[in-house]
A and B are shown apart, each in its own frame.
Chain A
Amino acid sequence: MKFRYLISVFCIMLGLCIVPAMAADSSTTVEGQLGVTDVAIDPGVFMYGDSGTVKVTVTNTGTMPVAIARAKLYSNELDVMGDENYGSVGSIGPGNSLQFTFTIVADAADGIYYPLFYLDLRDASSLRYRVPVKVENTGLSVSVNDRPDAFTSGKKEDVTIMVGNPRENTVNGVVITPMLNGYDTTETSHFIGTLSPDQAADATFSVTPYSETPMEFTVHYRNGMNDHEVTTAVPVTFGTDRKQAEIVLNNIVVTPEGDYYIITGDVTNAGLEDAKSVQVTTGSPAVPVDPYRSYVVGALEPDDFASFEVTFSAETGTENVLLITDYKDKDGNLYSSQLTLPLSSAVLPGKSSSGAGDELPVVWIVIVIICAAAVAGVIYYSWKKK
């Protein structure tokens, strides 16, 4: 009897031991079967003021459904929005996942922040998880990769803009837009698209400056769903392009030819770039006349030369005439240079034309005297012999 009593006491004590153990075992299992299996942050790295999303995926790896009261994301530094959507979540079945998306605004200085993901369970337990969020305000790097040594007003030149991504995350929608402040471009914009971290892309613009205002180019891009822009300026200083074609005229001879003049000479390209459509003609007060009103030399490569011949007429007394040389660069920009030629330096074979004798030859005078004497003698003789 006593043994049977002891067995009863043992059973009771065992039951007393098992119930709390079972109770304690029940709460541990509910927490343990839930876990954060994925966190997605967009954009990967925030810039100051950026809005983005934090997506937390919770998976029930247990065999029993787990009731969830609410989900929240707590942060002292970042503004969190959207957690009111998860005030009453419901339950998550075994093997299922739930994704909680929160909107955050990065109104904080550069750094790494750890907002707390808090999952409140119905059985008075909870799940906590810290989500690392990076904030870095470094924008895209914009630089001028290539530009001429000097600009010329109205002359088209190429400017190359390079955009680099020094950030840790990819940015997209990268577009370079010329601001057209004092210049024109052939291209209205240049689309680069996605720039991965530490990647760079460049774009070449054909620009035509009209003033010495720095040419501004703006790079628009998106970090996540946030628009950003960065502007760079290309300084514009008008001057002589050291590489441009340079036309030199020499060996010039002005020769009167009847009622007009002929100018012959050589035209040389002393520059470093090709001179296209080289033409030589005369300007006021000279009047170009046929057969060579203007002489088209054509293209001249650097250090190349060609002969030319132009014809013109000029009023009597004209002292100087203009010799005009026009040429174009590869973009069709027209250049013109003028050279003043004194007509007094002209070779004047015309003077020799009056060589019918500007000087009175002595021999002719002698002949006249002899003739006059002979005729006088003959006349005298004829009257004497009458």
Chain B
Amino acid sequence: MSIMTNIADILLRPAAFFNGRFEGDKPDLKMPLLIVLLYGIVAALSAANVSSVTMGMMPTEIAGMESLMIGIGVFSAFIGALLFWVIIAAIFHGISALRGGKGDFQRTLAVTGYGTLPMVFGSILSGIIIYFALSDVTIRPVSDPMQISAALTEIMSSPSMTIAGVVSLIFVLWSANIWVFGMQEARSISGKDALITVGIPVVIYCLITFLPYIG
């Protein structure tokens, strides 16, 4: 089975892709890790773009630290993607356990990793939107931290940034769909339990993501 077929199955036929995949003791985590790393790289690039914009607002006194600050942003985004993978898997594992799920954590980790694939596309698309949105911004140095915060809030609440968030959430929903099918197989739970297992964290995630835009 070629990689492209696997990818197509993950995205379009997750039920078929996960069917019988976790019959062995130890699932192969190379592919999920690769997907998560790819997601981390895309997130890091997007973070680099946003960080450079943010640094433009900083006072001239710390302008020389731009490279360092961007590096911290990129590193944080990359590590954040890996942590997101582990944390979301742990949440899924915990909730599914409450719903009678069985099977070790590596299976959940594999499902979560495979399911991150649509988020890679979502990050690329939202990153492009953010890039074009920020390219129109004229950045001015701001010395007052309150004004920096206000300026960032202004930028982040702009329609283009909202669009980027919406696009990202749409692809999270696509990932959630994959996670539902994967958790059924990985934890031997019903479709309903899998929907609850995945639905609760995803809804919370959506609310957390969209509350700033709403509020």
Partner of A354 from the list B125, B137, B173 (CB cut-off 8 Å) is B137
- CB–CB A352/B136 < 8 A: yes
- Residues from chain B with Cβ under 8 Å of A379 in the complex: 173-174, 177
Q: From B29-37, B75-83, B98-106, B142-150, give the one contacting chain A.
A: B142-150
Determine which of B13, B147, B160 lies in contact with A361 in the assembled complex, contact meaning CB atoms within 8 Å: B160
| A355→B13 contact, CB < 8 A | no
* B147 contact from A259, A364, A381, Cβ within 8 A: A259
Within 8 A of B (CB), among A340-386: 349-350, 352-361, 364-365, 367-368, 371-372, 375, 378-379, 381-382, 385-386
Residues of A within 8 A of B45 (CB): none
B91 at interface by CB-CB < 8 Å: no
Min CB–CB distance B176 → chain A (angstroms) = 9
How many chain A residues touch the partner (CB < 8 A)? 29
A356 x B171 contact (CB < 8 A): no
- Which A residue's beta carbon lies closest to that of B181? A382
| Interface residue total, chain B, C-beta cutoff 8 A | 40
Say yes or no: is B97 at the interface (Cβ < 8 Å to chain A).
no
Residue picked from A256, A258, A259, A364, most chain B C-beta under 10 Å: A258
Are the C-beta atoms of B155 and A354 separated by less than 8 Å? Answer: yes
A373 to chain B, nearest CB (A): 10
Taking a contact as CB atoms closer than 8 A, the residue among A364, A375, A378 that contacts B160 in the complex is A364
Q: Which residues of A contact B177 (CB under 8 A)?
A: 378-379, 382
Given A259-B147, A353-B137, A356-B161, A382-B125 contact (CB < 8 Å): no
**Could you tell me the distance between the alpha carbons of A275 and B129 in the complex, rounded to whole angstroms?**
56
State the main secondary structure of chain A at its contact with B: helix
* Chain A residues with CB under 8 A of B133: 356-357
Known: A357-B158, A367-B129, A368-B170. A386 touches B15 (CB 8 A): yes
- Tell me whether B207 is interfacial, beta carbon within 8 Å: no
A149 within 8 A of B: no
Query: Does A356 lie within 8 Å of B137, measured CB to CB?
Result: yes
Is the pair A368, B11 in contact by a Cβ cutoff of 8 Å? no
- Are A367 and B163 in contact (CB-based, < 8 A)? yes
A257 at the A/B interface (Cβ < 8 Å)? yes
Compute how far the CA of A296 lies from the CA of B151 in the bound complex, rounded to whole angstroms: 33
Smallest beta-carbon distance A352→chain B, Å: 5
- Proximity string of chain B (127-170) to chain A, C-beta cutoff 8 Å, 1 when within and 0 when not: 00100011011111111100100010011001111010011001
Is B14 an interface residue when CB atoms closer than 8 A count as contact? yes
Q: Which of B13, B159, B171 contacts A371 (CB 8 A)?
A: B171
Known: A259-B147, A379-B174. A368 touches B163 (CB 8 A): yes
User: What chain A residues lie within 8 Å of B118 (beta carbons)?
Assistant: 375
**A354 and B140 contact, Cβ closer than 8 Å, known pairs A368-B167, A375-B171, A379-B174:** no
Additional pairs, 14, CB under 8 Å, beyond known A356-B136, A385-B16: A256-B140, A257-B140, A258-B140, A258-B142, A259-B142, A259-B143, A356-B134, A356-B161, A357-B161, A360-B159, A365-B163, A367-B163, A378-B174, A382-B177
10 A–B contacts from the bound complex (CB under 8 Å): A258-B142, A352-B136, A353-B137, A353-B138, A354-B137, A360-B163, A375-B171, A375-B174, A378-B177, A386-B15
Residues of A that sit less than 8 Å from B by CB: 256-259, 349-350, 352-361, 364-365, 367-368, 371-372, 375, 378-379, 381-382, 385-386
